[in-house]
């Protein structure tokens, strides 16, 4: 029995249910399909692609050490996947194809087309649950409905795990002498970029980063996680997004550091586990509410907001020239590093949607194309939360004041000074509101906060 194990957003050997099950039942050939045109239509950018290329290189090496060959094939659109997989199955005499589930709509349509096509040709297609801690459908209300609010979801999620512990699966045993899996990332269009190489690739690097975080900083996470000038969060998101690390591995490491406790124990650890629950929650939303994958607001009434079409203001936001230093520093952090601190993702997303009243979908696309950790469920969830259009959305009348946010989370101005060289030599007070301190050479705010807040409240109120 030979199974093709189709790797997608799960570029690892450990805690890979499809690989684990397939290796137990016979020989395995690993497969990765490069869906360049489809990814472009999903707005995935060059840094994501570069990091993918590096992680695939590491995966090729890790698989080779276990004697597992890796086939990398171009299948530009998802609709090309069925034929590509069938051809590979024939080449390798495989009678099954296995993969871990992905939840966005296009991915699910692709998988059902693959299943039908292969079944008609005598090949089984098996899906396993491997990209969440608890899969969609495992956490439902008492009446069997999906949750649309996070806190009760988390309560149910915790009580489920309290009685049904999950353990990450080990890597499969070696299936023979080592093989060399060569790949040419440039030919595949997955060339590293200066930004993507800032993240050491591969499962060993990811495991090291997880161990370092859960050894120390996790204990201060509840206090440090909102301060962008320090490394107070794990920065594991690029590994989780491409599945170099599984969420169960993360949970397991956190539980080890917390005497096995999901709740209680160290506040820092409990808070961090809660972020892993957010990750699961947004995957449940994507799986159980397909309209969200079609670019629609989770709440239909939110699609009545008359978004402004203002290319100049959109450009000022994208390039970090709004005149609000915290917003600008955050947007430049994104441009320079391919990553942005969570607090600032909320601040910048609210600024675009509330201060500028520009459609959240334009911001969502900009983030997708620039983030190394681009992840459709988390990105869509974060944008809809910030724009007050989503499941657990911030109430529409919550409009973060970018100056107050800077006073609370960057009072020394260190973060702003690091990313906004025009303000590198100014006082802490001047980094909050340079126009009040006679700073020259830095833009004046493109919109007044009080005016923008009133305009947003009126517009949202009318739309409802």
Helices 342-350, 360-370: axis angle to 10 degrees equals 150
279 scored as a contact of ligand FAD (CB under 6 A): yes
Indicate if 270 belongs to the active site. no
Query: Which pair of structure tokens corresponds to residue 78?
Result: 């998802």
Nearest residue to the partner ligand FAD, using Cβ: 382
Whether 97 contacts 4, CB under 8 Å: yes
Candidates 69, 172, 381, 434; binder of ligand FAD (CB under 6 A) is: 381
372 scored as a contact of ligand FAD (CB under 6 A): no
Candidates 331, 371, 372, 394; binder of ligand FAD (CB under 6 A) is: 371
Among the residues of 164-220, which ranges form H helices? 203-215
258 scored as a contact of ligand FAD (CB under 6 A): no
Of the residues 296, 307, 336, 407, only one is catalytic, namely 307
CA distances from 13 to 6, 63, 204 (A): 12, 8, 11
Helix (H) or strand (E) holding 41: helix 36-41
- Between CA 289 and CA 300 the distance in angstroms is 12
> In terms of CB distance, is 23 or 302 closer to ligand FAD?
302
282 scored as a contact of ligand FAD (CB under 6 A): yes
The minimum distance between CB 116 and ligand FAD, in angstroms, equals 31
> In terms of CB distance, is 6 or 199 closer to ligand FAD?
199
379 scored as a contact of ligand FAD (CB under 6 A): yes
Indicate if 360 belongs to the active site. yes
5 forms beta bridges with 30, 98
Of the residues 278, 317, 339, 385, only one is catalytic, namely 278
- Between CA 134 and CA 161 the distance in angstroms is 8
Number of residues that bind ligand FAD (CB under 6 A): 28
Q: Which stretch binds ligand FAD (CB under 6 A): 21-29, 64-72, 196-204, 338-346?
A: 338-346
> In terms of CB distance, is 275 or 414 closer to ligand FAD?
275
220 scored as a contact of ligand FAD (CB under 6 A): no
391 scored as a contact of ligand FAD (CB under 6 A): no
28 forms beta bridges with 3
CA distances from 237 to 248, 339, 372, 374, 376 (A): 14, 9, 9, 9, 12
Whether 378 contacts 391, CB under 8 Å: no
The residues binding ligand FAD (CB under 6 A) are 225, 233-237, 240-241, 275-276, 278-279, 282, 342, 345-346, 349, 367, 371, 373-375, 378-379, 381-383, 386
């Amino acid at each position: 029995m030979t199974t093709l194990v189709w790797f997608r957003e799960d570029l690892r050997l450990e805690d890979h249910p499809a690989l684990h099950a397939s290796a137990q039942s016979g020989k395995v050939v690993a497969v990765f399909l490069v869906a360049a045109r489809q990814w472009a239509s999903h707005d995935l950018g060059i840094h994501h692609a570069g990091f993918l290329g590096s992680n695939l290189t590491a995966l090729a090496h890790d698989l080779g050490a276990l004697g597992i060959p890796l086939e990398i094939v171009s299948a530009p659109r998802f609709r090309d996947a069925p034929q590509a997989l069938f051809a590979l199955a024939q080449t390798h005499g495989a009678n099954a194809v296995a993969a871990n589930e992905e939840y966005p709509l296009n991915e699910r349509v692709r998988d059902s087309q693959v299943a039908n096509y292969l079944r008609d040709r005598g090949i089984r297609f098996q899906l396993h649950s491997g990209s969440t801690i608890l899969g969609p459908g495992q956490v439902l209300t008492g009446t069997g409905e999906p949750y649309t609010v996070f806190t009760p979801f988390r309560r149910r999620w915790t009580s489920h795990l309290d009685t049904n512990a999950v353990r990450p699966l080990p890597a499969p045993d070696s299936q023979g002498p080592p093989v060399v899996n060569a790949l040419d990332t440039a030919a595949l269009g997955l060339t590293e970029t200066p930004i993507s190489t800032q993240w050491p690739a591969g499962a060993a690097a990811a495991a090291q980063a997880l161990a370092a975080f859960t050894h120390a900083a996790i204990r201060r996470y509840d206090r440090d996680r909102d301060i962008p000038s320090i490394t107070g969060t794990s920065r594991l998101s690029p590994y989780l997004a491409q599945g170099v690390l599984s969420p169960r591995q993360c949970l397991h490491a956190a539980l080890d550091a917390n005497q096995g406790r999901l709740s209680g124990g160290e506040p820092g650890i409990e808070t961090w586990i809660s972020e892993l629950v957010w990750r699961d929650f947004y995957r449940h939303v994507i799986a159980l509410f397909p309209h969200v994958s079609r670019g629609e607001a989770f709440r239909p009434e939110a699609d009545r907001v008359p978004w402004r079409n203002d290319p100049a203001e959109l450009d000022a936001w994208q390039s970090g020239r709004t005149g609000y230093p915290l917003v600008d520093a955050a947007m430049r952090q994104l441009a320079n590093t391919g990553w942005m601190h969570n607090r600032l993702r909320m601040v910048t997303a609210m600024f675009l949607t509330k201060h500028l009243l520009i459609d959240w979908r334009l911001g969502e696309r900009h983030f997708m194309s620039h983030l190394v950790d681009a992840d459709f469920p988390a990105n869509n969830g974060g944008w809809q939360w910030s724009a007050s259009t989503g499941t657990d959305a911030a109430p529409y009348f919550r409009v973060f004041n970018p100056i107050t946010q800077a006073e609370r989370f960057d009072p020394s101005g260190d973060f702003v000074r690091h990313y906004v060289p025009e303000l590198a030599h100014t006082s802490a007070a001047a980094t909050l509101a340079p126009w009040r301190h006679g700073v020259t050479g830095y833009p004046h705010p493109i919109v007044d906060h009080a005016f923008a807040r009133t305009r947003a409240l009126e517009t949202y109120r009318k739309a409802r």
